[in-house]
């Protein structure tokens, strides 16, 4: 499927609906050593508070404990950028999947070279590419 890469994010369009993508992503993250710390079901919140029909939209906070240890150990301010965020947005029968590129933000705002963050980003990108 289509892939996009902007300075601060990595994005692709997956050929599954948002619910199946959520399930598949959760399993693949677990297999890669990541934990889904929490998720926000934005559709549920919008429907509950405003009614109407809203597209599926999830925000996931994911963490790999050794990565958090490494990144925060290098620069305690990295906690501002963690846990990693992955967003799933329903696009008809497909799902737009986006991930924040912590390395880019760390370089720009925290004075980090971003190399350690890039290692873990590449792991997450590999997971997203295999959806």
The model's pLDDT over 16-39, given as tens digits with 9 standing for 90+, comes to 999 999 999 999 999 999 999 999
What pTM did the predictor assign? 0.91
Distances (CA, A) of 4 to 34, 116, 125: 23, 22, 11
Query: If you compute the radius of gyration of the chain from its CA atoms, what whole number of angstroms results?
Result: 15
96: domain CATH number is 3.30.310.70
Low-confidence ranges of the chain (pLDDT < 70): 1-6
Total count of domains within the chain: 1
Cβ partners under 8 Å of residue 78, min gap 6:
71, 72, 102, 106, 110, 112, 117
Domain hosting 124: range is: 3-129
């Amino acid at each position: 499927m289509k892939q996009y890469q902007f300075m601060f994010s990595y994005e692709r369009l997956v050929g599954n609906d948002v619910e199946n993508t959520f399930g598949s992503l959760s399993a693949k993250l677990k297999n890669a050593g990541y934990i889904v710390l929490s998720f926000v079901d934005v559709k549920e919140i919008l429907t509950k508070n405003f009614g109407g029909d809203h597209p599926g939209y999830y925000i996931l906070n994911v963490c790999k404990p050794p990565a958090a240890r490494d990144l925060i150990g290098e620069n305690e301010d990295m906690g501002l950028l963690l846990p990693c965020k992955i967003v799933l947005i329903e696009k008809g029968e497909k799902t737009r999947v986006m991930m924040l590129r912590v390395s880019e933000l760390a370089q720009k705002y925290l004075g980090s070279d971003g190399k350690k963050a890039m290692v873990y980003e590449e792991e997450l990108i590999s997971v997203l590419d295999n959806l």
